[in-house]
Structure formats: C-alpha cells, structure tokens
Amino acid sequence: MLKAEDKEKVLDQSFRDSVATIDQQGRRKYIHPKKPKGKLYNKRTVASIVYLILFFTLPFIKISGEPFFMINVLERKFIFFGQIFGPQDFFLFALGMLTFMVFIIVFTVVFGRIFCGWACPQTIFMEMVFRKIEYWIDGDAQQQRQLREMPWNAEKIRKRATKIVVFYAIAVLIAHFFMAYLIGMDKVKLYMQEGIPAHFGTFVSLLVFSSVFFFVYYWFREQVCIVVCPYGRLQGVLLDKNSIVVAYDYVRGEPRSKGKKEAAAPAGDCIDCAACVRVCPTGIDIRNGTQLECVNCTACIDACDAIMTSVHKPTGLIRFASEENIREGKKPRINARIIAYSSVLAILVSVLGFLLITRDDVDVTILRASGAVYQKLPDGRLVNIYNIKMANKTRKDIPLTLKLENLNGEIEVIGGALHIGAEGYKTQPFIIRVDPAELKARKNEVRIGVYEGDKKLKTAETHFMGPVK
C-alpha cells in the first residue's frame, strides 16, 4: 500500500502535458470507448430511459389547452408546470436563475460533476442513445477501430451510410422536440401539415439545428464536455478535496502490480489492466486523479469492479469518494459542510416555491395619470384621473371591479367595463370623484380594492390630489 504523501513521487504526471483527444500533431484523436457494463451502467440506463420518456412526452402534455412546459422566447411566454409566466414575472425568473446557479455551485462543491454523467442531456443522448446505436451498427471498440482503419469497401460504406442516416434521423427528431419546447407541439404539427413553403424560415432553422445535433453526436462528441461546456470549465474552481467525485483509491491501488504477482515489494491492488481507461468516453486515466475531462459517468467504476471481482479483491478501487476520504481511508459521510450547503439550497428552493405558489393570477398596478392634478365638478366634487395596468396570467377572461376602501367617493371606469382577456395585458383609465370634505390634505392616500366578482384579488394603493388645506 502507498502512503498518501508518496503519491506525487510515484504517479506519472506526464499526462498533464497532453489532452487525451488530441495527438502530438494537434489532430483530433477519436475515442472508441469499450462498451460499459455493470451495476452502475444499468442504473444509468434506467435513469436515462426515465429522462428520455420525460423529454419526448412533456411536449404532448397540456393543461387547459396549453402546454405543460414551454419556453417561447420570441413571444416572451413561458409555461412551467402549467403556470404561465410573462415579462411581469421577471423577478421570479431572476430568482429562479439565481437559485439554479447557487444550486449548481453548491451541488457541485459537495457532489462533484455527477449531474454531467447522470442527468445532462448531452451525456444522456451521447452515451445512452447515439453510442448504443453505434455499438449496434459498428460493434464494440475494437471493431470500431478496425472499421476506421480499413479501406473503403462495401462493408464500411454500408455501416457509415447506415450510421449517418440513423444519426441524422434522430437529430431531426430531437430538433423537432426542441422546437416543440419553444413554440408548442400544436404549432410544430401545424407547420408540418402546412408544409415547407409556408414556413420556409422555420424549416431552415430546423435544418440548421438538426445539422448541429448531428455534428455534435456524430463527430464532436466528448469535446462538448471538455472544450465547450462552461460547467465543465468551472470544475477547477468548484471542486475541492472534500467534493465527492469518481476517484481512484491510490492509497489502496499503488504501486501497481502488473506482472508482479511474485514481486518482492508489497504491491497495491491495481493490476494495471487499463480496463478503466478503455471504457472512458473522454479517454482519460482516472488513476491520474480528478481531471476536467471526467464527466462522472462511472463507467470506470463498473470496469474496475469487474476486474477486482475477477482477481478476488474487494470492489471499490475506483468509487465515489473525496480526496480527503481516500487519503484518510474513510467512507464519505454526511458532514457539517454538506448539511450547511444543503440547508442553503433548501431555503432558496423553499422561498422560490413559496413565491410561485402564492403568485397572483392577476397583476394590477394603479397610477395617477401623469401631468393631471385635480378637476372641480359643478357640484363641488373633485376628480382625479388614473390608469390601471392589468396582466392576466390565467387562461380565462376575468371581469374586474374596483371599490374605494378608505374614502367615500365614486369610481367610474372609462371605455367600458373593466375586463381582461385570457393571458392578456391591458391599460384602462378611470376616474375617482370625491367630496372635498373627505380630504384631509393636499395629497391623500387612497386604497382601491380590485375584485373578481365577490373575490378580492388585491388592494392597490395610490393618492388622491386635492387643493392645499
């Protein structure tokens, strides 16, 4: 067994001089990971099936004729869990984004990059859809390499053509569903029925997105995680020695014992078989320590566990653990740090949830008409003019009435009864008439109840201006 402090002396650090996916000449090195198998891979398969079912069914789910989920950036209409959000809910959106970012940071500090391997759409589609199809068409890693090296012949043309057609077809399908999340499945179906000439711009966008997806899954692949993804690039500052990541137990594994069955010096448990490297979709050797390229897919854990079982040693040479756990030979435990970070998360999520649940169906703002002071009627009463701005976040038309709550007077809505259509925005003027005897000062606070039938929706506050007292 290796003492923790000897690690730096023993481990070869030359891996830091290069990237696994780029050769000495700077060309792309295509990774052909061996097909993973094992307990964690089976769990990931189940998780990805759930994810894919959700991804492909959510656009079909509707509530009162509207999508369950929609992110229509162009029309600034957002629907989450059937609730409609518009520009007036910007603070909720900002709070949601803030919570999401804190969640990402706190979650990563504690649990590392587990999201990447188990929930990120890029990894799910790459490893659980396209990679499986690739194994089906091209065979396992060794056959893929042979196919790559072989000259163009009937078999290579057939396999390449099949892969391109199948990959592109799935890319087109994904692009359609992404569009459904943007504009709703009904519109996607309508556009398809009306044909390309009627929606040529949308068709071109769809073609571009399909081609991007195809490019990513056919060629670019793990480079998204290594080079493009900002979350991946942040790992260096988010992870610390207490973060739980996929890690090699160098204390137990080193020095490696390949061909040293009868070695004089005591050897570690790693038999240097490189099974963990062969299955890695980003081409790294996890035995070199936590690296930016590792997406925590756990394929190396499964591979190493199988090897350990075959050589009758305990599994878990590669496992979920922190650097601290490995150095001290302890199991991951729930510590004060995890509790503190999780509490912060729980508070943020609770606040956001509370604001979402208590969100008003109708937003109402009442402002005095700019520039106007007051007018005196022939009967001596005073008049102020106001504008009411209304935003209806529901799918039904809402008739509204206004009542003065702290003044005796009259409200008269100008331009017909107060009414706001489903998901509509409207501004309408109204006047308040008050007897001057009601006023205590030049500027008087006035509270106006906004009602839908007998149900009070909110109390708006404004002022009534009168003569100097």
Interface with ligand SF4 (CB under 6 A) = 246, 248, 253, 270-276, 279-282, 284, 286-287, 294-300, 303-304, 307, 317-318
**What are the backbone angles phi and psi of residue 36, rounded to the nearest 5°?**
-75, 155
Measure CA 45 to chain center.
Answer: 20
- DSSP summary character for residue 332: -
Asked whether the beta carbons of 290 and 7 are under 8 A apart, the reply is no
Among residues 206 and 317, whose Cβ is nearest to ligand SF4? 317
Nearest CA among 293, 235, 275, 361 for reference residue 36: 275
Can you tell me the distance from the alpha carbon of 461 to that of 46, in angstroms, rounded to the nearest whole number?
Answer: 54
Q: At what angle do helices 141-149 and 131-138 cross, to 10 degrees?
A: 70
Among residues 284 and 400, whose Cβ is nearest to ligand SF4? 284
Pairing mode, strands 455-465 and 66-67: unpaired
How crowded is residue 268: how many other Cβ atoms within 10 Å of its Cβ?
20
Among residues 89 and 127, whose Cβ is nearest to ligand SF4? 127
Q: Which residues contact 207 (CB under 8 A, 6 or more apart)?
A: none
Q: At what angle do helices 336-357 and 90-111 cross, to 10 degrees?
A: 160
Shortest spacing between CB 315 and ligand SF4, in angstroms: 10
Shortest spacing between CB 285 and ligand SF4, in angstroms: 8
Asked whether the beta carbons of 248 and 305 are under 8 A apart, the reply is no
Among residues 312 and 455, whose Cβ is nearest to ligand SF4? 312
Shortest spacing between CB 31 and ligand SF4, in angstroms: 10
434's tokens: 């008050």
Among residues 67 and 253, whose Cβ is nearest to ligand SF4? 253
Residue 80 pairs with which residues in a beta bridge? 83
Listed as own residue / partner, the contacts of 50-54 with beta carbons closer than 8 Å and 24 or more positions apart are 51/119, 51/121, 51/124, 52/124, 52/128, 52/129
Shortest spacing between CB 131 and ligand SF4, in angstroms: 12
Among residues 310 and 459, whose Cβ is nearest to ligand SF4? 310
Among residues 286 and 326, whose Cβ is nearest to ligand SF4? 286
Shortest spacing between CB 247 and ligand SF4, in angstroms: 9
Nearest CA among 208, 244, 3 for reference residue 115: 244
Among residues 216 and 295, whose Cβ is nearest to ligand SF4? 295
Among residues 270 and 388, whose Cβ is nearest to ligand SF4? 270
Among residues 244 and 317, whose Cβ is nearest to ligand SF4? 317
Extended beta strands in 230-368, E state: 245-248, 318-321, 362-368
Asked whether the beta carbons of 449 and 403 are under 8 A apart, the reply is yes
Can you tell me the distance from the alpha carbon of 291 to that of 287, in angstroms, rounded to the nearest whole number?
Answer: 10
Sign of CA dihedral 330, 334, 340, 344: positive
Q: Provide the residue type at 187 as one letter.
A: K
Among residues 106 and 297, whose Cβ is nearest to ligand SF4? 297
Asked whether the beta carbons of 286 and 270 are under 8 A apart, the reply is no
Q: What is the DSSP string of 417-430?
A: S-EE-TT-EEEEEE
Shortest spacing between CB 7 and ligand SF4, in angstroms: 14
